[in-house]
Amino acid sequence: MNPVHSDLLTVIARIGGVLVVASVIGFVLQRRLSPDGQNEGIENLNARIRAWWVMAIAISLAFLAGRTGVIILFALCSFAALREFMTLTNASRADHRSLAAVFFIVLPIQYYLVWTSWYGLFAIFIPVWVFLLLPIVSALSGASRNFLVRVAEMQWALMICLYCVSHVPALLNLDIPGYGERGVLLIAFLVIVVQLSDVLQYVWGKLIGRHKIAPSLSPSKTIEGFVGGSLTATLIAASLWWITPFSPVEAGLMGFVITIMGFLGGLVMSAIKRDRGVKDWGHSIAGHGGFIDRLDSVIFAAPVFFHLSRYFWSVS
């Protein structure tokens, strides 16, 4: 068996084991504390676990499909995230051409650049060319009302939902000596550590959380939860060094960095939601909200993780 597939199957099996344990715990809690389905906390927990099963299976199948599966998966995630974001903006009829260009020209081109490993254009296509040309398309419509707000919202949507997310599959293109064609495992490392950090911060916060970090933005986030979750996720990252090109210490440090970035990204996305007056970005994923609600931590962690890996470990 291909060593990459062997390691990937090991990771998938361990994730499956964790979900089995979580499912058993959820079942026991429901039988004891919410037999009639009236305990909102328990019901939400089980909804989240069921959603995690679906997401884990979808991600696993994409990873096992290789490069094509991973790129298609994140392209679809970007499309769904863009759709959620744009529903909360001031976009008007005058922006129809710009929106069509975003969804059906800019998005495919960005992921084509990932597919072809064209890093030079991939890195500047959106923040230079698209950011300059898109306002021109909107201006040609002749509608000046809220022009700056409309353009800025569209640019920010592109930055977080497309540009940042596309850095996840771009990890496949890194040429790291001695690591071979194992980029999919680097993606697995990023996603596992960031998502586990979110879960662990929530758990630690529920167990010992006392002091709110930003109550007006995210009431559930506490200092104790942040510290406990971040440190635990860092230790898990160090234990996963064997699927990365990093040493245990380096894996721990990288895990710590992406954990911090994920947490800060979550705060930024919460601030946007509060500004828009919504609790979740959408309702696509039961118990989790929308696609952006699940991607918010990865959005900020992915570009930092990509460029640190490229600068310190890649020869390209």
For residue 101, the model assigns a pLDDT of: 95
In this prediction, residue 152 has a pLDDT band, given cuts at 50, 70 and 90, of very high
Residues 198 and 316 in one domain: yes
Q: Residues, the chain, total?
A: 316
- What's 26-50 look like in SS3? HHHHHHHHCCCCCCHHHHHHHHHHH
Q: Is the pLDDT of residue 14 over 70?
A: yes
Instruction: Annotate the chain with DSSP letters as a single string.
Output: --HHHHHHHHHHHHHHHHHHHHHHHHHHHHHHH-TTS--HHHHHHHHHHHHHHHHHHHHHHHHHT-HHHHHHHHHHHHHHHHHHHHTTS---GGGHHHHHHIIIIIHHHHHHHHHTT-HHHHTTIIIIIIHHHHHHHHHTTT--TTHHHHHHHHHHHHIIIIIIGGGTGGGGG---TTT-S-HHHHHHHHHHHHHHHHHHHHHHHHHH--SBS-TTT-TT-BHHHHHHHHHHHHHHHHHTGGGSSS-HHHHHHHHHHHHHHHHHHHHHHHHHHHHHT-SSS-SSBTTTBSHHHHHHHHHHHHHHHHHHHHHHT---
Residues 159 and 202 in one domain: no
More confident residue, 57 or 5: 57
In this prediction, residue 261 has a pLDDT band, given cuts at 50, 70 and 90, of very high
pLDDT tens string 153-183: 999 999 999 999 999 999 999 999 989 888 9
Name the average pLDDT for the chain.
Answer: 89
Instruction: Tell me the average pLDDT across 64-69.
Output: 90
d(CA 174, CA 7) in angstroms, rounded, equals 19
Maximal CA-CA distance, the chain:
62
d(CA 94, CA 164) in angstroms, rounded, equals 26
The proportion of the chain whose per-residue pLDDT surpasses 70, expressed as a percent, equals 96
Domain enclosing residue 45, as ranges:
1-64
Q: Is the pLDDT of residue 36 over 70?
A: yes
The last residue of a domain, from among 146, 173, 200: 173
Residues 21 and 78 in one domain: no
The last residue of a domain, from among 154, 173, 192: 173
Q: What single letter denotes the amino acid at residue 122?
A: F
Say what angle helices 40-64 and 67-86 make with each other, to 10 degrees: 140
Residues 188 and 316 in one domain: yes
Instruction: Tell me the average pLDDT across 10-37.
Output: 86
Q: What is the number of other CB atoms lying within 10 angstroms of the CB of residue 248? A: 14
* Range scoring the smallest mean pLDDT among 21-25, 78-82, 201-205: 201-205
Q: Is the pLDDT of residue 273 over 70?
A: yes
Residues 245 and 313 in one domain: yes
Residues 191 and 298 in one domain: yes
For residue 121, the model assigns a pLDDT of: 97
Instruction: Tell me the average pLDDT across 69-96.
Output: 91
Q: What is the pTM of this model?
A: 0.90
Residues 187 and 286 in one domain: yes
Residues 295 and 314 in one domain: yes
Q: Is the pLDDT of residue 236 over 80?
A: yes
The last residue of a domain, from among 14, 46, 64: 64
Residues 167 and 268 in one domain: no
Residues 248 and 289 in one domain: yes
In this prediction, residue 3 has a pLDDT band, given cuts at 50, 70 and 90, of low
Residues 167 and 202 in one domain: no
When divided into structural domains, the chain yields a total of 3
Q: Is the pLDDT of residue 75 over 80?
A: yes
Residues 160 and 50 in one domain: no
For residue 287, the model assigns a pLDDT of: 52
Q: Is the pLDDT of residue 5 over 60?
A: yes
Instruction: Tell me the average pLDDT across 41-49.
Output: 75
